[in-house]
Amino acid sequence: MVEVAYALPNEQLIIPISILPEANAEAAIRASGILNKFPEIDLNENKIGIFGKLIKLETPLRNLDRIEIYRPLIADPKEVRKQRAEEGKVMK
């Protein structure tokens, strides 16, 4: 058994599924039905990982893996920190 996880700002879904021993990440994602629930997921664009570590679609799975589908970042974290630092200098 593995889990397929996807989260939006106001909703999180974790789908447990049973898979064949030779299944890969893409097969598990497709078997979970999550692509029907969230049509905005594009496996050619969205990155995926297992417990926070990036993987490829063809990565073989192990029992109890959690495949996470990541959304694109809205803002670059480095730019946001840079802007906050600049704002802090202006306030002082």
6-38 pLDDT per residue, tens: 999 899 999 999 999 889 999 999 999 999 999
**Domains delineated in the chain:** 2-91 (3.10.20.30)
Identify the pLDDT of residue 92: 55
Decide: 66 and 50 in contact? Cβ < 8 Å.
yes
* Cβ pair 13, 71 in contact under 8 A: no
- Who contacts 76 (Cβ-Cβ below 8 Å, separation ≥6)? none
- Name the percent of the chain lying above pLDDT 70: 95
Nearest in space to 64 (alpha carbons), one of 48, 43, 47, 50: 50
Positive/negative CA dihedral, 31, 37, 43, 48: negative
